[in-house]
Structure 1
Amino acid sequence: MSRYAEAKKKLRGSIAPVITPFNDDYSIDFPSFEKLINWHIEKGTHAISVTGTTGEPSSLTVEERVQVMQAASKAINGRVPFVPGTGSTNHDETLYLTKKAEEMGADAALVIVPYYNKPSQHALYKHFKAVADSVSIPIIVYNIPGRTATNLQPETLAKLSQDCPNIIGVKESNKDFEHVNRVLLHCGRDFLLYSGIELLCYPMLAIGGAGHISATANILPNKVAEIYDAWNEGDVKRAQDLHFDLMELNDVLFKDTNPAPLKAAMGMMGSIKPVLRLPMDLPTQALQDEIRHVLSKYVTLPDHISTN
């Protein structure tokens, strides 16, 4: 079995996009970060990703991103696959970070479509091909048009997967379900398709998806992982039940820009200090009250924790 075929077999299920916790002085809280990774693995998360959207990479320096990746790799210690986010709007930064991921022994790199620049499909092809050619580890492309202002078309992705054997999958944070169907049509049914939209985690499994990369895993890692486990075991009703059971929580966590509601919720749980770096900030008090109300239906909240 080739390295990439083996990766396609291994990189399935719930890949948790772990947040980057900060101290009150906005420095990175590495002890809390290590505890979160251990907690995820104990709760059944199938793989760990860091410095993706949920990890606030645009609020980190390049050096800090490397430090977070290194800390994650050390904490994981080979127990589950490691898929750090290495993409940037800057091509050279993306190359640098992806090579660093390879040096750390990452199982794959998650590379976002460059944001703000709004490159053409031809330019996107050249960008991703150069990244893939620079390393030998598997690449998972990350398409999130709502935040990048550019949608990587299935035909472009298919050409990349044909020309670059290490481009093995895509995280689609794309609400266009017709689009994600066409990804598998054009790229092949063995191409790894992950949902980055919480309400599409279950539906994407139904069309042949490989799993999901869901921010909600930071709250209920066991339940998010169980959606995949139930589907994989043929328990369709259980997967459907979990899908609908989590819907209210999924909805409230995205009433403001991710990860602001998520960090507020984790602060209420007492797992982190609810700190974001500007220009990100916590949600309004009204939304925090709503988050607390919904969150209390899923977990027992300590009375003394406040996000104010």
Structure 2
Amino acid sequence: MFSGAFTALSTPFRDGAVDEQNYRDFIEWQIEQGIDGLVPCGTTGEAATLSHAEQGQVIRMCVEQAKGRVPVIAGAGSNSTKEAIELTKMAKDAGADAALLITPYYNKPTPEGLIAHFKAIGDEVSMPFVIYNVPGRTSLNLLPKTLKRIKDAVPDVVGIKEATGNLRQCAEVIEECGRDFDMLSGDDFTVLPLLSVGGSGVISVISNIMPADMAGMCKAYVAGDGKKALDLSLKMAPVNRAMFFETNPMPVKTSLYKMGVFKNLEFRLPMVPVTSETDAKLDQVLREANLI
């Protein structure tokens, strides 16, 4: 259902509020650059510091601006099942094509709790779900056998954003869930090898600033052009590393500002501007990549 390069969209702010015009222009640029899909209100979009009203506003703007040209997978997860249900309803009402649902963070539920969590959401809202497995942020790793049980219990679960970077685990996801199950990488460093073990694409950080290259790499792989895919992967590698000089989304948002894509550089606490040392290193990497 979902394949290719999806951008985990950064959210521009102006004077403390979401900058609607800049966000719409950013989405338009992403589509012009050939991106395959959009993901508003993920980690990179600073969803953790958006109010529910703002989250609904951002998702609706994204859907409106996309105009059906590319699919929109809206971040709607929470560690509270009740809150996740409310956010997923909001994503559906806004017209999103799917909801991205993170595994409950902090709570660290058992496999039975995970199944119950996603089943409760599925019982209340009918739309495609992509589960988000990111142990580095949740302290919980959704293992393939448990994912299979969730998929069987919740028919709306059509895919996973796999951010472990563990290719063995990724291969087991397809073994357990089948080739028609969408496995989207959540780790920009391993997109190309993940495609080779059954992945369908990526929800990407770097495609905020290099959408054509990430989308082009995915398309080249599907077309059987391994050389082009590898060339693009190697081209993005140093920029990938730069995007994690400090906590995401601080470097990528700073890069968008340096490129002139974002008109202002604002974060919400506890996110803060990158250090002067990181700023200088970003300048060097972006110049070498001909991005500024």
TM-score bracket, shorter-length normalisation: over 0.9
Give me the whole-angstrom Cα distance separating, in 2, the residues matched to 1:130 and 1:91: 7
- Aligned pairs for 1:159-308 (under 5 A) are 159-272=149-262, 273-301=264-292
Aligned to 1:62: 52
1:131 partner letter: I
Aligned to 2:119: 129
Aligned to 1:146: 136
Aligned partner of residue 92 in structure 2, secondary structure: helix
- After TM superposition, the score normalised by the length of structure 2 is 0.97
Give me the whole-angstrom Cα distance separating, in 1, the residues matched to 2:122 and 2:185: 22
Report whether the alignment pairs 1:16 with 2:7: yes
Aligned partner of residue 73 in structure 2, secondary structure: coil
Aligned to 1:106: 96
Aligned partner of residue 123 in structure 1, secondary structure: helix
Give me the whole-angstrom Cα distance separating, in 2, the residues matched to 1:68 and 1:104: 9
Give me the whole-angstrom Cα distance separating, in 1, the residues matched to 2:139 and 2:46: 18
- Aligned pairs for 1:47-126 (under 5 A) are 47-126=37-116
* RMSD (Å) for aligned C-alpha atoms: 1.0
Give me the whole-angstrom Cα distance separating, in 2, the residues matched to 1:132 and 1:204: 28
- Cα 1:300/1:104, change in 2 over 3 Å: closer
Give me the whole-angstrom Cα distance separating, in 1, the residues matched to 2:165 and 2:222: 23
Shift of 1:105: 2.3
Report whether the alignment pairs 1:157 with 2:157: no
Give me the whole-angstrom Cα distance separating, in 2, the residues matched to 1:203 and 1:126: 32
Give me the whole-angstrom Cα distance separating, in 1, the residues matched to 2:133 and 2:122: 16
Deviations 1:121-156 (CA, angstroms, capped at 9, x unpaired) = 211111011112222211000000000111111111
Deviations 1:138-186 (CA, angstroms, capped at 9, x unpaired) = 1000000000111111111101111222101000011222111111111
Aligned partner of residue 13 in structure 2, secondary structure: coil
Q: Is the 8 A contact 1:62 1:93 kept in 2?
A: no
- After TM superposition, the score normalised by the length of structure 1 is 0.92
The percent of aligned pairs where both chains have the same amino acid is 38
Report whether the alignment pairs 1:28 with 2:18: yes
Aligned partner of residue 165 in structure 1, secondary structure: coil
Give me the whole-angstrom Cα distance separating, in 1, the residues matched to 2:291 and 2:255: 12
Aligned partner of residue 54 in structure 1, secondary structure: coil
Unaligned runs of 5+ in 2: none
